[in-house]
Amino acid sequence: MGTRVVIDPITRIEGHLRIEIEVENGKVKDAWSSGTMFRGFEIFMRDRDPRDAWYITQRVCGVCTTVHALTSVLCVENAIGIEVPDNARLVRNLIMGSQYLHDHIVHFYHLHALDWVDVVNALKADPKKTADLAHAINPHSRRSGQGDFQAVQDRVKAFVNAGQLGPFDNAYWGHPAYKLPPEADLMAVSHYLDALTLQAKAARMHAVFGGKNPHPQSYVVGGMTCVQDLTPDRLAEFIYLMKETVDFAQNVYIPDLLAVAPFYTEWAGIGGGVGNYLAYGMLPENTKDDPNNLFFPRGVVMNKDLGNPQKLDQGKIMEHVAHSFYEGSTPRHPSVGETKPYFTGVNTTAADGKYSWLKSPRYDGKAMEVGPLARLVVGYASGHKQIKGAVDGTLKQLGLPASILFSTLGRTAARGIETKVIADKMQQWVDELLANIKRGDLSTFSTYKMPDKARGFGMTEAPRGALGHWIDIRGGLIHNYQLVVPTTWNGSPRDATGQRGAFEEALIGTPVHDPKKPLEILRTIHSFDPCLACSVHVIDPKTNEVHVTKAA
């Protein structure tokens, strides 16, 4: 038996996640992913008005609030069979696009970049050589002058001299898995700081049509309530913020991604995971409730077979609870799902042990990966013009084959590629909305009557992956409401057949230089972007020694 190590909680994510690994001969032999907090939204949704569901369920997450709001209204609209006006579709798409630009930039710089960038090593950099590097990879770099990089280096040096690193405190600086030269580290740290300013502006885009961010106020069953915001001034504000965010994505984020990736090409063969990919699709091209009308396609790719994409059948989704803290043993479709908590204590040593509050969703009996990589894999396999062009262009620039997509590096690159695809599309939605307004069409809401009895589901894509809500309405109220969120798919424990979830499978074979400093584990887990910043406790079960570090 190898050495067991527990990382609890995983930091630089949203939520509570515990990862346990067994390390043998310097590599991960086995892994267990545990969601450690119970919330129970499905329970307190019962007997509420279906029209309130969107307002409540967006509180499931403090990051992807808008996608839960959207999925919930789609769920109820599907149940009662209504079609929203075109302006509502376009505004929803623009808010969703804003969410993606904001989320992917934040993930790359503030949640994931420090797994690849050694902040302390940036102190060794020559600011002039850093400026030359920044200009070489992108003439439009936000900090292209020697003085700019010198100023950043001085700020970091002041942190170090003061005995603390501020936002970069207590990480694994000096770990041999870091490979960037000092100048690349300094450039990345500089752009990390730039992105802090940019993300605030990106978040404002939500508020133009959503009223506020987080937790937008303008979603309703039947459309949107922001008709008074369809004015020249408000549209001009949105366009200004959109262009600044798109400029940062295209001229800073993506060039940085392409600059860092060549130093870590060995990670193109690490973290592949289950090899099955599922995407619900998103961003409708018209107002029809039809998966064939989605800009990002809905579908499934099994066994990494890009030549054989399959249509998704939501009836094949089942949730297992054999290793989850819930009553029951029969897999259930979410439409008839149950949420009956049954906490037994974490047990990863027994074959039938329960160890997670996450259920285990499976599609046609198989563990699936969801998220940016899954969306690109499904789109690429489906021949989606924009996705295929963006993927092929990136791979050509990196000089790597398509097979590298199925990895930790590929998962990280997928977010950048997806950001470009969405950024290129947003202007089209703005133009369509402006055309409708010029024709005098200001409609954003469709009237309806809430039925006494109905069932439906809503599906879209959160930045972290496939998001589904299912509702059962009886007596005009919610009888049952179930959510299957992206990290439930990816972070699920084993099912009744022993299949690992995507996190667990992706960790198998991962090299671990020092179990007390599991940087390599963070790289793969963060590449999924699980949906908290607090101390990490690494526990050696043989000595019961606790090693404490803080999130970078």
* 91 vs 94: CA distance, rounded Å: 5
End-to-end C-alpha distance for the chain, whole angstroms: 32
**How does strand 17-24 pair with strand 27-35?**
antiparallel
Residue in the block written with tokens 């909680």: 9
Contacts of 175 (CB under 8 A, 6+ apart): 118, 513, 514, 517, 519
Here the tokens at position 78 are 């599907």
Residue-level pLDDT at 358: 92
Residue ranges with strand state E in 244-370: 277-279, 282-284, 294-296, 299-301, 317-320, 360-363
Could you say which residues of the chain have pLDDT below 50? 532-552
Going along the chain from its start, the domains and CATH numbers come out as 3-114+195-550 (1.10.645.10)
CA–CA gap between residue 463 and residue 111 (Å, rounded): 14
Q: Dump pLDDT digits (tens) for 216-239.
A: 999 999 999 999 999 999 999 999
E runs forming strands in 209-293: 219-220, 223-224, 277-279, 282-284
Q: What is the distance between the alpha carbons of residues 37 and 530, in angstroms, rounded to a whole number?
A: 14
Beta bridge partners of 35: 17
Please give the structure tokens belonging to residue 146.
């020697």
CA 317 to chain centre: 21
Find out whether 100 and 107 touch, Cβ atoms under 8 Å: no
Q: How many residues does the chain have?
A: 552
For residues 317 and 292, the answer to whether their CB atoms sit within 8 Å is: no
Q: What SS3 class is residue 545?
A: strand
pLDDT of residue 171: 77
